[in-house]
Amino acid sequence: MGVLSAVLRSLRRTTTISGLAVGALALSGCAGSSLDQSGSQGSGDEVKLGLLVPLSGVYAPLGEDMRDGFQLYLDQHGGRLGGKTVRVVTVDEGETPQTGVPAAQKLVTQDRVTAVVGVVNSATALGLRDFFHESKVPLLVANAGADAITGERSSPYVWRTSFANGKVGAALGPAVAEEVDGGVYLITADYAAGREMVGGFRKAFEAAGGKIAGEKYTPFGKTQDYQPYLSAIRNSGAKAVFSFYAGAEAVNFVKQYKQFGLADRIPLYGTGFLTEGGVLNAQGASAVGVKTSLHYSTELDTPINKAFVEAYRTKHGKAPTVYSVQAYDAAAALDKAIAKADGTGGEDIAEALGGIGTIDSPRGPWSFDADHDARQKYYLREVRSDGGSFVNAVLGELD
């Protein structure tokens, strides 16, 4: 099925199709064969941006952090990016592509935004790649790690300020192979992100001499009771576990891992989403000792990160997370690109994104690579208790 018919079907399902949406479709040539929306923009001195983040479902807290990070950058820059006043239209990505894809389509065809920032879920990002490619509207993915969208399905219009799933998993492989004497059990949420993070970890871990003791893929968004899986881990003889969970699933998994008595016997490793932000507050003491790989920690001891953490706390009353930073940096990337672009259309901005160079971020300096993915450092982190609260202490950089 073509992208055009998917858009039209989704618009037909929308109860209130405004005259603007119908007009936008006709003007953009949707009645013919082209989805090109690259001329859409705010007028004159204004640029209209879409923010597509989950505000419902298991990943809602991640979406709120992204919204807060994006807003902080705007506030710090007088509500302007690249010299233009920014108008933001925020929509709910929800939990899956069934909600995220139509929400993105609405931003482009109905709200006629110049660019979209956001997307948490890898499956949603994969479902959106062709739509943005054909619409010629830049999508700045500020979380979803689906490997293909900055790999074999890269597009001039898709840029990522976060990470590729396989790379975050791979970063931890050699360190675990060195630390663990025996087999490692793999367990993850069963969808693109989990499979790719585990796949990246497995490849790097086995290349460094590690052995796999077993693996399990738990239904995404539906698993609350991990006891049967924890029994399988206990009976496997594994000497450590590697996992990917995020949001509400990460809270349940880590708490039950401790309650089941595994935390003291079988060290738990994972990608950093397992113990990030609000998730870590909810896990509390259950998470102490969990080691993860990630491209950010609030504990990074740099002037730029300290200033960012303080500004974020002052504005939002809580610590930032990797999700906040990824969206903050998407705003920074757009700031540079809009300033450099020859015009304010989607194609102008997409082209300018290729020339923005290095972003000095709270995570450390990073830049877009040739496939539009973030080239950045990964850190080894360990959850520690810090005067009554819990933090991801930085143990060092990963190769």
Residues that bind ligand BEZ (CB under 6 A): 59, 120-122, 143-145, 165, 193, 246, 273
Q: For ligand BEZ, which is the closer residue by CB, 249 or 348?
A: 249
Q: Which amino acid is at 295?
A: H
Q: For ligand BEZ, which is the closer residue by CB, 59 or 366?
A: 59
DSSP state of 373: P
Backbone angles phi, psi at 64, to 5 degrees: -65, -40
Q: How far is the CB of 73 from ligand BEZ (least distance, A)?
A: 21
Q: For ligand BEZ, which is the closer residue by CB, 168 or 233?
A: 168
The answer to whether the beta carbons of residues 120 and 324 sit under 8 Å apart is no
Q: How many CB atoms are closer than 10 A to CB 161?
A: 28
Q: For ligand BEZ, which is the closer residue by CB, 266 or 287?
A: 287
Cross-strand partners of 365: 360
Q: For ligand BEZ, which is the closer residue by CB, 122 or 275?
A: 122
Q: How far is the CB of 287 from ligand BEZ (least distance, A)?
A: 16
Q: For ligand BEZ, which is the closer residue by CB, 24 or 201?
A: 201
Q: How far is the CB of 203 from ligand BEZ (least distance, A)?
A: 18
Structure tokens at 105: 């389509």
d(CA 297, CA 289): 15
Please report how many Cα atoms fall inside a 13 Å half-sphere around the Cα of residue 129, on the Cβ side.
21
Q: How many CB atoms are closer than 10 A to CB 235?
A: 9
The residue count for the chain: 399
Q: For ligand BEZ, which is the closer residue by CB, 294 or 349?
A: 294
Q: How far is the CB of 340 from ligand BEZ (least distance, A)?
A: 29
The answer to whether the beta carbons of residues 229 and 218 sit under 8 Å apart is yes
Q: How far is the CB of 143 from ligand BEZ (least distance, A)?
A: 6
Q: How many CB atoms are closer than 10 A to CB 365?
A: 13
Q: How far is the CB of 52 from ligand BEZ (least distance, A)?
A: 13
Q: How far is the CB of 38 from ligand BEZ (least distance, A)?
A: 26
Q: Tell me the H-state helices in the chain.
A: 3-13, 19-27, 60-76, 97-105, 122-135, 165-179, 192-207, 227-236, 247-259, 278-283, 303-316, 322-340, 346-353
